Amino acid sequence: MRGAVCAILAAGASTRAGVDKVGADLGGQPVLAWSIAAARASGAFDRIVIVTRHDRPRGPIEAIARAAAPGTTVVAGGETRTHSTWAALAAAQDADVIAIHDSARPFAPPSLFARCVEIARHEGSAVAGLPLADTVRRADEAGVAVEEISREGLWSAQTPQAFRRELLERARVTAGDRSFSDDAAAVRAAGFPVRMILGEARNLKITTTEDLAYARELVAKGLVGIPALEPR
């Protein structure tokens, strides 16, 4: 049996955040370093791959990666999230399971990475998420509610999203030039079922400057901390 690779996507434009989210300070460490630390601390991966923007120098990302996990591979991504996933797939030929994680989710705990890998290895896929708890309504362009949608069976998807290699390979072939909102959507479009597993409420995504400020507040209050490797 081959091992598992964690692919951390750090190729977004950060337009809504107004700052470079990947390198932004979070509790004295770059945001990216938190995801690297969690992946390492999980003990589930043989290797970590960082996918960065193809139109930016790799130097700053490589410096963060070297400091957080020596031996991490940094590769260039594509124009879209989906293309960046295929770049990670190409860089992880040695893996039987690939877990894809968004670097903008710094608080995913090591245990979540480990669960996703374990379940994906046995069932083909494991996508972290949370069942929707709020009422869901559809509104028109003017913001007027037009219908209420049953939230039964609806989930909000998170990352990590882990898959056996052959599923991602077949999704890549089926996708062609299409792009998807996340990797689970690409796998579903290829005709494969996707297993949802319970994620974490603290696994928030930093999208705006307000999100970054909130994340910093959680760290300052000691409600979250960067994962550390367990002593061997």
CA distance 119 to 197: 9
Amino acid of residue 71? G
192 neighbors 125 (Cβ within 8 angstroms): yes
The pLDDT tens digits of the residues spanning 18-49 come to 567 899 999 999 999 999 999 999 999 999 99
To which residue do tokens 């960082």 refer?
50
- Domain ranges, ordered by start, for the chain: 3-220
Give the right CATH number for 3-220 from 3.10.310.40, 3.90.550.10, 3.50.50.60, 3.40.1410.10.
3.90.550.10
Q: What is the pTM of this model?
A: 0.92
pLDDT confidence band for 232 (50 / 70 / 90): very low
In this predicted structure, what is the pLDDT of residue 90?
95
The pLDDT tens digits of the residues spanning 62-107 come to 999 999 998 999 999 988 999 999 999 999 998 999 999 999 999 9
Length of the chain: 232
To which residue do tokens 């996990």 refer?
69
In this predicted structure, what is the pLDDT of residue 231?
47
Share of the chain above pLDDT 90, in %: 81
Share of the chain above pLDDT 70, in %: 94
In this predicted structure, what is the pLDDT of residue 64?
94
pLDDT confidence band for 54 (50 / 70 / 90): confident
In this predicted structure, what is the pLDDT of residue 27?
95
In this predicted structure, what is the pLDDT of residue 19?
64
25-26/3-10 β-pairing: unpaired
The pLDDT tens digits of the residues spanning 114-173 come to 999 999 999 999 999 999 988 989 999 988 998 998 888 999 999 999 999 999 999 999
